[in-house]
Chain A
Amino acid sequence: MSETTVKDRTGKVPDAFPENASGVRKKIMATLAAATPEAVAGKYENLAVPSFDLVRQPETGLVMVRGRMGGTGSPFNLGEITVTRCVVRLETGETGSAYSLGRSKKKALHSAVIDALWQRLETRALIENDIIAPLAAAQQTAKETVRQETAATKVDFFTMVRGDD
């Protein structure tokens, strides 16, 4: 593993994993966040989960969503969303986190364990291939369906030509 570390805004080194900086972990967590609680539970059930501690109990709270004036200007507060988060530590030492929209504590717990297992090099490929890849593919398909359905409603303007010229 390389020595690269990432610093947060306060200059601390929050996590020794370079995956945080590369954005891969962010994608893993985002894929879990975008999945339904049932989909995550379905994958979790098939995992051999080592014992773990709850560093932070699954907890539901609010995040205030910010927009920008005119789309690109100064920020303003639009309204809140419900968010559930959870942090676990595996007996092997890896710490997994989950943050996702909604109030499913079960999904937050499952996602945090899966995130921790992904950080464990021994189980990383398994998590990527058996969980993240199929979830991401399903999400991509759903988005593509929306795009194609939307594309069918695209307006083709044409100009009426007057008959007297």
Chain B
Amino acid sequence: MYVAVKGGEKAIRNAHKLTAKRRRGDTSVPALTLEQIAQQLAHSVARVMGEGSLYDETLAALAIKQARGDLIEAAFLMRAYRTTLPRFGYSTPVDTGAMLVERRISATYKDLPGGQVLGPTFDYSHRLLDFALAAEDDGAEQPVEMAENDDQAMPRVTDLLGDEGLMEPDPVSDEETPVGDLTREPLSFPADRDLRLQNLARGDEGFLLALAYSTQRGYGRTHPFAGEIRYGEIEVEFFAEELGFAVTLGTIKVTECQMVNQFAGSAQAAPTFTRGYGLVFGQAERKAMSMSMVDRSLRWQELGEEPMAPAQDVEFVLSHSDNIQATGFVEHLKLPHYVDFQAELDLVRRMRAEWFEKRQQQEQGEAAPEAAQ
């Protein structure tokens, strides 16, 4: 029997009002503006856009503010918002080679065409708290260095290796092959690499980081080298049917990671390096690197490797990477389960009654021979 329980309306209403008050905090402190969040908490914004699978900095800033800085809750708000909008279509695939690069590094080649540019990064910092940021006058602008821009092209590292035949080429399907879309059809298995990459791109950073780390520690080792990491602005184009040409919608910031891994080869094909690919919204290097390592691990079958680790298990990885789904199922445990629990209570009472009854019988059985002696 299902029994509906009512009566929480007032409590819920008041709890939401209280949340709004707590969110605002001490009103003698100025409220956060969306511009402040978008400008000054760029990594939070990037994470919410990536895991919310919707690139819109102002919306992400609003979501972060509304969620009081809970980034998974904020990503959830983004996912919910997107369902209210019509879909115009698909962009033409972006060209990360034409990026306005703000950061580009390689751990495999020192002297790259275009060079290595560090850009904005926490790398090489001492991780000491900077109390200057806590000072009242933190508005003061620090001048940055400028240098002559030599306009040198920055070809992808993987393309350089590819020219020598040392790198496995990117898989190219013909243009008619449909591209899987998780927002249109639920995930099913086996999942091809297009679906896997979409799933990973919106997957939880912590989950992917842990899986990537597990491959380094020996659970499905892939011997990764950071072939190239680049971050910057790329143009997005959309073919407008009514105009007959691809219009430029604007630019978005993305991080791309090319992870170079150990070899594939067979009697038919000479040995080459293999690769994993990461591409995420905003500056999110840890996520892009993790994504590329997990992408590579999930390719075990295609590359003739042995499955032996969690990071290689397509179904396990893809089914648990989405933090919106995960948080929904974990957090639903907070909802009333009174009737379910009542049934369990009855069951455990019955089990205990049987257990005590059985024990009593045993004791009596043991006592009887003693009495007979």
Contact = CB atoms under 8 A, between A and B. Distances in A.
A102 to B, nearest CB: 7
B182 A148 contact: no
Nearest to A64: B90
Contacts of B252: 65, 81, 101
Contact of A74 (B88, B146, B194): B194
B103 A100 contact: no
Contacts of B87: 61-64, 80
A30 B194 contact: no
Task: Please tell me the size bucket of the interface on B.
Answer: 35 or more
Contacts of A78: 94, 197-198, 201, 254, 279-281
A102 B85 CA distance: 12
Contacts of A21: 245
A15 B42 CA distance: 41
A92 interface: no
Contacts of B241: 8-10, 14
Interface string B342-357: 0000000000000000
B91 A66 contact: yes
A102 B103 CA distance: 25
A64 B90 CA distance: 5
A80 B58 CA distance: 14
A12 to B, nearest CB: 8
Contact of B170 (A63, A69, A85, A87): A69
Interface string A62-106: 111111111111111111111101010000000001011111000
B236 interface: yes
A77 B180 CA distance: 7
A155 B102 contact: no
B249 A100 contact: yes
Interface in B166-195: 169-173, 177, 179-183, 193-195
Nearest to A30: B248
B119 interface: yes
Contacts of A147: 100, 149
A99 B118 CA distance: 34
B225 interface: no
Given A102-B56, A103-B56, A155-B115, A64 B85 contact: no
Task: Please tell me the size bucket of the interface on A.
Answer: 35 or more
Contacts of A39: none
Interface in B86-122: 86-94, 96-97, 100-103, 110-111, 115-119
Nearest to A143: B100
B281 A79 contact: yes
A66 B178 CA distance: 12
Interface string B213-256: 00000000000000000000101101111111111111110101
Given A6-B244, A83-B238, A101 B201 contact: no
B269 interface: no
B312 interface: no
A65 B252 CA distance: 10
Contact of B53 (A30, A79, A102, A154): A79
A146 B100 CA distance: 8
A109 B197 CA distance: 36
Contacts of A103: 56, 58-59
Contacts of B55: 65, 79-82
Contact of B172 (A62, A73, A148): A73
Contacts of B116: 154-155
Given A29-B247, A70-B158, A83-B249, A152 B147 contact: yes
B85 A99 contact: no
29 contacts: A13-B244, A14-B244, A30-B247, A34-B250, A61-B85, A61-B87, A66-B90, A66-B91, A66-B94, A71-B277, A72-B172, A74-B179, A74-B193, A76-B195, A78-B280, A79-B50, A79-B198, A79-B201, A80-B82, A81-B252, A83-B249, A97-B243, A99-B240, A101-B250, A144-B149, A150-B117, A152-B144, A152-B145, A155-B118
Q: Give the 3 A-B CB pairs with smallest separation, nearest first.
A: A73-B170, A101-B250, A30-B248
Given A65-B91, A76-B197, A151-B150, 7 more contacts: A10-B241, A61-B88, A62-B87, A69-B193, A69-B277, A79-B281, A148-B147
